[in-house]
Structure formats: C-alpha cells, structure tokens
Amino acid sequence: MNRLIVGPWAPWILVAVVLLMLVPGTASLPLVDRDEPRFARATVEMVERADWIKPTFNGQDRFDKPVLTYWLMRAGYALCGQGEFGARLHSIVSALLLVLLTWHTGRRWFDARAGFLAALGLATCVQMFLHGRLALADMPMVACVALVMVALGELLLAPEPGQARTNLRFWWWALYLGLGVGFLAKGPIVLAVPVVGLALMRWALWRKPLPWSRLKPFRGLLVTLAIMASWGVPALLVTQGRFFSVGVGEHVVQRGYDRFNNRGYTPFFYLGTAPLSLFPWIGLAGLAYFAARRKWSARNAWITSWMAAPYCIFTAYATQLPHYVLPAFPAFFLLLGQGLGMPERMRGARRLGRVFAGAMAVIAAAGIVVLAVITPPAGTEAMRFASLGALFAVLGLTLLPFAVLGERVWLGVAGMLAVAGGSLALGHYARQVHPAVHFAADWRALSADTRLVGYDFSEPSLVFYSGRSWIFPSDEEQLAAEIAKPGPMVVVTVVKECDPVLLLLGRERWRDKEQPAGLGSWTHEDYAGLNFGRTRWQVLRVSRRE
C-alpha cells in the first residue's frame, strides 16, 4: 500500500476515489435540497434570456448568491444537458480540484504519505459525499478558500533562501485570484476565513514575526477588486443596487444575527455535528491533535489557524448549518494525514478510530437487515430500496479507516465499491418517489395558458421539473382569488403526511391536511411520495380544471 500512495499513481488513485464517491447515482438522483432546484432553474432562466448578470427563479429576482455558480452550471448544461448531472458537474469538478490541492499541499509541506492520506480522508468524509455532488455554490467557494489559505502559507512561511522568486509570484497571483473568484462563488466568506486565520496565527497560535511584505496587499487587492467588479458593477447597475442590499444585507449580514427559518442556536452546534460531517474519520481526530501538538511548527500553526477560522466565524453566526464549516475540512485532514503516519505508539487514538468505525458499521448493517426483512406499506418499496442504498454507502465508508490503519488495499477497494453501488441504488430509487419528477412530463405537456398553483406544497423542484412558472399562494384567500380566475388550472395540495422512517417501520402517524374549498368539481389524482425539502412522506392531490 505504501508504494501506491507515495508513487506516481497516487494522484490517479485519488481521482478514481473522487469519481467513485461522487459520480455514481448523481445523474439519476433528483434535485433534493431546496436550493438545488433554485440554482438549477435560475440558470435555465438566465440561458433562456441570454442574461449573464442577473439570476431569476420562477420569474423573480434571485439575489441569494453571486453569479459564478450560475456561470459554471451553464457550462455543465452545455456539456451534459439541462438535467441533474449538468447542474452538479461544477461541484464534482471543484471537489476533485480541492482533493488534488490537498494532496499536493500535504506532499509539499510534509511528505507524500501525509498528503495522500489527507486527500483520501477529505474525499471520503460525509460532507464531501453530500456537497461534492450537489448543485450548490459551496464546493467552488471551498476550493477557492483552500487555494487562498495554501497561498498564504506558501508566501508567509517559506524560508527566504530556498524560495524561488517565480514561486512567490505564482502564489501571490493564486492568493488574489482565489479571493476574487471565491467572492463571485459565495460572497464575503472567502475574505473572512483568511482574515480570521491570519489574526489567530499572529496573536494566538504563533505570535512570531512573519514576512508580511511578500503579500503586497494594496496591489493584490486591486486584482481582487477588479475580478469582483467585472460582475459586481454591472449587477449593481442592472438591479439598482438591490443585489448588494439583499444579497449581502439580508443573506449574509442579517443571517449573522437573525436565525434563518427560525432555526435554533447553540454554541456547540458544530461540535455536535462533527461526528456526522467528518464521518468516518472523526474517530481518529485524536491523531490530528497529536500531530499538531508533537510536530508543532509554523506550518502546523497555520493549518490549525486555518481549521479554527471557519469554526470561530460560524459559531458566532446566528444561522447554523453543518456544511458551513466545510472550509475548515482540508486543514483538519492535513493534520490527520500527519497523524496517520506517526508511530504505532499512538495506539489509543487508533483504537478509538477502529471502535467508532466498527460501531457505525454495526449500526449500518443492522439497518440493512431491518429494512431487508420488514414488509413495507404498499407504495413505499422504492423508498425502502433508496434507504438500503444509503446504508450500503455508509457501510462502505466505515471500511476505509480499517483499510488505512491496517494497510489493506482490498478492504479500501471493497469499501469504495460499496459506496458506488449504494449511491447508484439511492439515486435510482429516490427518483421514483420524487413528486415533481413523477408529474414532470404531464406538466410540460400542458397548454401554455394553464396556470400552475402549489398550495401547502411550494417546493422549488416543481418549477425546475415542470419548466414552467408557478404561483404559490400563502393563504386560502390568495388561493381562492386564483381559483376564481377563468381558464385551465392545476392546483397541487397536500392531503396528509407522516414521518418516512415511522412509515417504513409500520408505525406511521398521519397528519391530515384540510383541503381548500372550490376544487370539488375538478378532476383529481392522488400521488404518494417523499418531500425531500421537508423529509416528509406526503400524499399529494393534483386537481385539474380544463
């Protein structure tokens, strides 16, 4: 195994791992996150208008994120068509570049083994498995943050005599280009992480003089501002300044002090979600700690500052989601990569990693057995098989720490094949229970004057899969006003819903929904499926008036 991870095949093995993690099932998996169909449909609308500046969703301005993701999705659509894989291609490519950058950095700063193991851990953690394939803005931003932090490490920590001037020039350009492109990906976070990281390095973790003059910040920030202005100025002009006031004022600043969607807040949120986000490697976190402590240096002080910066920023942020701290993950795995190469006397930390992975393997295997033997309610077979696929992927991930610690290549290959097979099953069967996918062909075939209305079911996937604009009334009064208008109409409502896990186990507790008045004489069709945005099994009623 050692010859594989330190030899010329190492980067190709990592490419294969990333592709096995992220490609299987991605083309069939429906757009599951609420933001996925928003990004995907907004890009379609920009293409239809031949607009490169202002995104819209469902005909309304969308100021949530800057424009880079929409541009990248346009490229994905041009290569793969306007479907799920085309919408997600940019995330897969960004994840691949991020993993290779982590490998190169670990190899350059430490040794080939540490670089490979760091990149392998990053490529196979749960958050990368999820967000590395989603049609969102996160992966391009994380890749840019990593490039910026590596560039800062190269500029500030390289010794004077051995550092070629051309190397310094390369990393200087990488720093400021990364800041500019990262801002176009997801806004100010790409600026905040290096600022907080530098503050932690200078005043908390290292506190020694650094060659700040190498940064040439005034000249460099002009490069960054030029990139930001290339889209930002036209966007501000086209939207009369609303892209800044809404995109930054509401979606960045306001979320910092006001909880989004009434989510709860706890200062320990990211500590509590780490076992899931960093699964299956969280059990070996002690090795990352020992590596930082026993090999303390300017490099490891900078990596620790890099890792801590996103946690500091988002712990103080009112809106909390597990993936917000993704920019810290490459740094964590750079420390872990070193720890995995430390002597066997770290037996306690290694044993803990094995125990954690083993416990998760037992839980996943138990879940597979339960789902295999139960008799699910009629109409939920596809959801059962999708759940089995997800559990097989989890079981495959649990094999990876055993493969690394025991240096058993065959076990790692078996784990990756289980992940790929589980992902294929998850994507295939999840598609069968997605309501918008089920009705997509019918909605696209409707006459152009048919109005589409979603009441109590206002998922953005309706807009993407129908390729049509929708009306989403907020109350029965608005719905009644729409029904009163003449002409053909389709109204989607929720009849009842329950927890999908309890449903599979035969212990469902249905919650009935009151049906709106005025639809009695219409034709109706009921369909049971999974609302991925709310994680609820719902019975939907599609009412039609010709």
pLDDT tens figures, 284-303: 999 999 999 988 999 999 99
pLDDT of amino acid 32:
87
Assess contact for 119 and 164: CB atoms under 8 A. Answer: no
Q: How distant, in Å, are the alpha carbons of 39, 209, 289 from that of 271? A: 29, 32, 15
pLDDT of amino acid 243:
82
Q: In whole angstroms, what is the distance from residue 464 CA to residue 44 CA?
A: 9
Distance linking the first and last C-alpha atoms of the chain = 66
Within 8 A by CB and 6+ apart from 209, the residues are: none
Helices (H) and strands (E) in the chain, counts: 24, 8
Residue 317, token pair as written in the block = 């942020």
pLDDT, tens digit, 9 for 90 and up, residues 114-140: 999 999 999 999 999 999 999 999 999
Nearest to 89 by CA among 98, 100, 102, 80: 80
Burial class from Cβ neighbours inside 10 Å (0-12, 13-18, 19+) for residue 236 reads middle
pLDDT of amino acid 363:
95
Average of per-residue pLDDT across 321-330? 96
Within 8 A by CB and 6+ apart from 104, the residues are: 115
pLDDT of amino acid 249:
65
Q: Which position has the higher pLDDT, 85 or 208?
A: 85
* pLDDT grade for 394, boundaries at 50, 70 and 90: very high
| Mean of all residue pLDDT scores within the chain | 92
Nearest to 284 by CA among 150, 124, 391, 128: 124
Assess contact for 452 and 469: CB atoms under 8 A. Answer: yes
Question: 159-180 burial, b for 16+ CB within 10 Å, e for fewer?
Answer: eeeebeeeebeebbebbbbbbb
Nearest to 277 by CA among 242, 325, 336, 342: 325
* pLDDT grade for 447, boundaries at 50, 70 and 90: very high
Within 8 A by CB and 6+ apart from 150, the residues are: 101, 105, 171, 174
Q: In whole angstroms, what is the distance from residue 241 CA to residue 476 CA?
A: 34
Position 259 pLDDT exceeds 60: no
pLDDT of amino acid 266:
85
Position 160 pLDDT exceeds 80: no
Residue 103, token pair as written in the block = 């490998």
